[in-house]
C-alpha cells in the first residue's frame, strides 16, 4: 500500500477518531505533507520511537504509541513476565501525559500492570523505578532535547537500561509484526484501575531516589564547610529537573540556588529557546544573565527529561564564565569522584571507567593515571548500563564512573541511564571541595589539562531531511566504506574501525581484527598525534554526525588543531553531497 492509499485508509477506517480524521482532511491536496506522514511507519528502533506529533503512520500519535506498546506487550507475554508489570514516566512535552496513559491502557488490556507516575519525572528516575519496583520493563515518554513539535517513546528492560540485545531485536520484531491498527488493544482507565492493572506512583519513589543520590556524596565535609557560601544558578529549561535538582541540592546543604524564573515551569512550547538543548549557547542566555547578576559560582542547565547537564563555570581571574562541553564536565566529575574515592578508601583492583567510543580520550588518560580499566562501548548510555549488568552477573569489574560526550554521565549504579540530577549534585560537591582548596571548577579544569593534556573534542553535523536526506546519508556512509581515507586534514589515518562490519583495519599492514562490539553503522578513524574522527548517522534526528578529537600542547594549540581538522572533515563530506 503506497502513501496515498494509506492516507485514504486512515480516513475511511472507523478505528481512528474524528479529531485524527479532521487533521488529515485539512492536508488534502498537499501531496508532500501526505507523503511525509505516510511514506513509512514511524520506525521503532533500538531507542524506541521519536518523531513529530501528528496524525499519520510516520508521526507520534496515540495510535503509533499504542502500536509500539502492543508489540512490547506481545514480547512481555512471550517471555512469560506479565506479572511483573511496567513502569511509565513522561516529561513536559505536548501529549506526554496522554501518550503515557495510552501505553498504560494498552498494557492493561493485555493483562500487564502499569505503574504510572502521577506527574512528569526525569528519565533517570524512571530507570530507578523499574529496578525498585522489580518491573520487567519501563516506558518513558520523552523526546529529550528535540524541538517542541517532537515527542518520543523509550523502552527500558528489567535492569533499568534501555533495551539491548537480545530484547531490543525481540521487541522490534514484535512491533513490526503488528500490521493492523484495528487489532491494537486498549481499555477504559477506570476499568484498568478497578482490575488493579493501573497504579499511580510518585512520592515513595521520589524519596528513595533522592536518598540513593545522597549516598554517593564523597565530601559532605566540604559541603558543610562552604556550601552556604556558594551561589548556583539553575534552569530546568521548562522540563522535569526543577524539583529533584533543587531538592537534592537543598538537602545536601546548598541553600543559594537561583532558578531562572522564565524557564522554571514545565512548558511543551519551550518558549524561551528554539530547542531545549543544554549543549546550545542560547539555552544559557537567561541563566548567564542571572548568574552575572547574583555572581554565581556555576550555572547549570538540564534538558527536558533531565538526563543531560550543561554547565558554565566562573573564571576567578576574569570574572567571566566558561562553558564546559559534555566531555569536559564528564571528565571533571569522573576525575573528582575516582580521585577522591582513591584518597579516602582506595580503588578496587578491577575498577572501571566506561565511556562511549565517541567520547574524549582524556577519559583514557584519567583511567591510566588511576590504574583502572578504560572500557569503550557503542554510543548510547544503555551500553554503559549493559556493562554494569555484566559486572554484576560475572562478579568481574567494579563500575566507578561512566560518561558519554553528549552531556551525560552516571556516578552510581542505582540507575542505568545518564542522570543530570546526580551530575548536578556531583558537580556542586566538586565545586565545594575545590573551593576549600581555594580553587574554582575552572581552575580544576585547567589543572586537568596540565596533568593529562589539552584535549579538545566536539561534534559537527549536517542535517539532511526527508526521503532524499535518508538516501544521501546512506550514500555518504557507503562512499566512505568503499573509498578508504588514508589522510584527513594533514593527519595520517593509522586504523579504521568499521563497527558495521566488526573490523579494525591497520592501514600500514592491512591487518584486520574484530572491534568486539555489536554491529553499528559507525566509522572511526584513528589518526596520528592522538587525533581521531568518527562518523555516524544520528539515531534520533535526520543528521549525519562527525565527532572530532585532537590533543594539543596548550589550549591555543588544541583550538588551532581542531579548527583545521574540523574544516577538513566538513569539506570532504560537503564534496559528497
pLDDT for position 538? 83
Cα dihedral 535, 39, 92, 276 sign? positive
Question: Which CATH number does the domain housing residue 488 bear?
Answer: 3.30.310.50
Measured distance CA(393)–CA(117) in Å, rounded: 30
Q: Please, where are the H alpha helices in 311-415?
A: 326-345, 362-370, 381-394
The answer as to whether 235 is a domain residue is no
Q: Which residues of 219-256 are buried (b: 16+ CB within 10 A; e: fewer)?
A: beebbeebbeebbbbbbbbbbbbbbbbbbbbeebbbee
Q: Is the pLDDT of residue 497 over 90?
A: yes
* Residue where a domain terminates, one of 185, 208, 231: 208
Average pLDDT, the chain: 96
Measured distance CA(147)–CA(52) in Å, rounded: 9
Q: Is the pLDDT of residue 244 over 80?
A: yes
Question: Which CATH number does the domain housing residue 100 bear?
Answer: 3.40.120.10
pLDDT for position 464? 83
The answer as to whether 269 is a domain residue is no
Three cell numbers, residue 25: 482532511
The answer as to whether 344 is a domain residue is no
Is 356 annotated as catalytic? Answer: no
The answer as to whether 121 is a domain residue is yes
The answer as to whether 348 is a domain residue is no
How many distinct structural domains can be found in the chain? 2
* Residue where a domain terminates, one of 147, 181, 208: 208
The gap between the terminal CA atoms of the chain, to the nearest Å, is: 31
Which tens digit of pLDDT belongs to each residue from 166-178?
Answer: 999 999 999 999 9
pLDDT for position 574? 84
Cβ contact 38:3 at 8 Å: yes
Cβ contact 140:305 at 8 Å: yes
Which tens digit of pLDDT belongs to each residue from 250-274?
Answer: 999 999 999 999 999 999 999 999 9
Q: Is the pLDDT of residue 137 over 80?
A: yes
73 by DSSP, 3-state: which?
helix
Cβ contact 530:551 at 8 Å: yes
103: containing domain: 40-208
The answer as to whether 341 is a domain residue is no
The answer as to whether 77 is a domain residue is yes
Residue of 118, 110, 62 lying closest to 85 (CA atoms): 110
Helix axes 31-38, 3-12, angle to 10 degrees: 80
21 by DSSP, 3-state: which?
helix
Residue of 63, 265, 53 lying closest to 143 (CA atoms): 53
* Residue where a domain terminates, one of 208, 239, 271: 208
- In terms of C-beta density within 10 A (0-12 exposed, 13-18 middle, 19 or more buried), how is residue 281 classed? exposed
539 by DSSP, 3-state: which?
coil
- In terms of C-beta density within 10 A (0-12 exposed, 13-18 middle, 19 or more buried), how is residue 347 classed? middle
The answer as to whether 437 is a domain residue is no
**Catalytic residue of the set 92, 96, 127, 144:** 144
Amino acid at each position: 500500500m503506497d502513501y496515498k492509499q494509506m492516507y485514504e485508509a486512515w480516513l475511511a477506517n472507523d478505528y481512528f477518531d474524528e479529531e485524527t480524521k479532521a487533521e488529515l482532511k485539512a492536508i488534502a491536496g498537499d501531496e508532500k505533507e501526505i507523503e511525509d506522514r505516510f511514506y513509512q511507519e514511524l520506525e521503532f528502533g533500538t531507542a524506541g520511537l521519536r518523531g513529530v506529533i501528528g496524525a499519520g503512520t510516520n508521526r507520534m500519535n496515540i495510535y503509533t504509541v499504542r502500536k509500539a506498546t502492543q508489540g512490547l506487550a506481545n514480547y512481555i507475554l512471550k517471555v512469560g513476565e506479565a506479572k511483573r508489570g511496567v513502569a511509565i514516566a513522561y516529561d513536559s512535552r505536548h501529549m506526554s501525559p496522554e501518550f503515557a496513559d495510552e501505553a498504560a491502557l494498552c498494557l492493561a488490556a493485555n493483562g500487564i500492570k502499569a505503574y504510572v507516575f502521577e506527574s512528569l519525572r526525569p528519565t533517570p528516575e524512571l530507570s530507578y523505578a523499574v529496578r525498585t519496583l522489580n518491573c520487567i520493563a519501563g516506558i518513558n515518554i520523552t523526546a529529550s532535547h528535540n524541538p517542541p513539535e517532537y515527542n518520543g517513546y523509550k523502552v527500558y528492560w528489567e535492569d533499568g537500561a534501555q533495551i539491548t540485545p537480545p530484547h531490543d531485536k525481540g521487541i522490534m520484531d514484535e512491533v513490526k509484526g503488528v500490521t493492523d491498527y484495528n487489532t491494537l488493544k486498549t481499555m477504559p482507565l477506570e476499568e484498568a484501575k478497578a482490575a488493579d492493572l493501573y497504579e499511580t506512583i510518585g512520592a515513595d519513589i521520589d524519596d528513595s531516589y533522592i536518598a540513593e543520590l545522597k549516598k554517593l556524596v564523597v565530601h559532605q565535609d566540604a559541603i558543610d564547610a562552604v556550601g552556604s557560601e556558594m551561589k548556583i544558578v539553575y534552569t530546568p529549561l521548562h522540563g522535569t529537573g526543577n524539583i529533584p535538582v533543587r531538592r537534592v541540592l537543598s538537602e545536601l546543604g546548598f541553600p543559594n540556588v537561583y532558578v531562572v524564573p522564565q524557564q522554571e515551569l514545565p512548558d511543551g512550547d519551550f518558549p524561551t529557546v528554539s530547542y531545549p538543548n543544554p549543549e546550545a549557547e542560547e539555552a544559557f542566555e537567561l541563566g548567564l544573565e542571572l548568574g552575572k547578576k547574583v555572581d554565581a559560582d556555576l550555572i547549570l542547565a538540564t534538558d527536558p527529561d533531565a538526563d543531560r547537564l550543561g554547565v558554565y563555570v566562573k573564571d576567578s581571574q576574569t570574572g567571566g564564565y566558561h562553558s564546559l562541553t559534555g566531555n569536559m564536565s564528564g571528565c571533571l566529575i569522573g576525575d573528582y569522584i575516582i580521585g577522591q574515592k582513591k584518597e579516602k578508601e582506595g580503588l578496587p583492583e578491577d575498577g572501571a571507567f566506561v565511556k562511549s567510543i565517541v567520547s574524549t580520550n582524556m577519559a583514557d588518560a584519567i583511567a591510566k593515571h588511576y590504574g583502572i580499566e578504560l572500557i569503550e562501548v557503542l554510543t548510547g548510555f544503555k551500553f554503559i548500563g549493559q556493562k554494569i549488568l555484566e559486572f554484576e552477573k560475572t562478579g568481574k569489574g567494579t563500575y566507578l564512573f561512566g560518561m558519554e560526550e553528549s552531556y551525560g554521565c552516571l556516578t552510581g549504579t542505582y540507575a542505568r541511564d545518564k542522570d543530570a540530577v546526580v551530575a548536578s549534585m556531583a558537580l556542586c560537591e566538586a565545586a565545594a571541595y575545590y573551593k576549600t582548596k581555594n580553587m574554582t571548577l575552572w581552575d580544576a579544569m585547567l589543572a586537568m589539562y596540565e596533568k593529562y593534556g589539552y584535549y579538545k573534542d566536539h561534534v559537527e553535523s549536517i542535517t539532511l531531511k526527508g526521503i532524499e536526506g535518508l538516501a544521501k546519508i546512506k550514500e555518504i556512509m557507503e562512499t566512505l566504506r568503499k573509498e578508504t581515507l588514508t589522510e584527513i586534514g594533514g593527519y595520517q589515518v593509522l586504523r579504521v574501525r568499521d563497527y558495521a562490519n566488526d573490523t579494525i583495519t591497520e592501514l600500514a599492514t592491512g591487518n584486520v581484527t574484530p572491534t568486539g562490539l555489536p554491529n553499528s553503522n559507525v566509522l572511526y578513524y584513528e589518526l596520528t598525534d592522538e587525533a581521531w574522527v568518527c562518523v555516524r548517522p544520528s539515531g534520533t534526528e535526520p543528521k549525519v554526525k562527525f565527532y572530532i578529537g585532537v590533543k594539543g600542547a596548550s589550549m591555543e594549540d588544541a583550538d588551532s588543531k581542531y579548527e583545521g581538522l574540523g574544516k577538513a572533515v566538513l569539506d570532504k563530506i560537503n564534496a559528497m553531497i
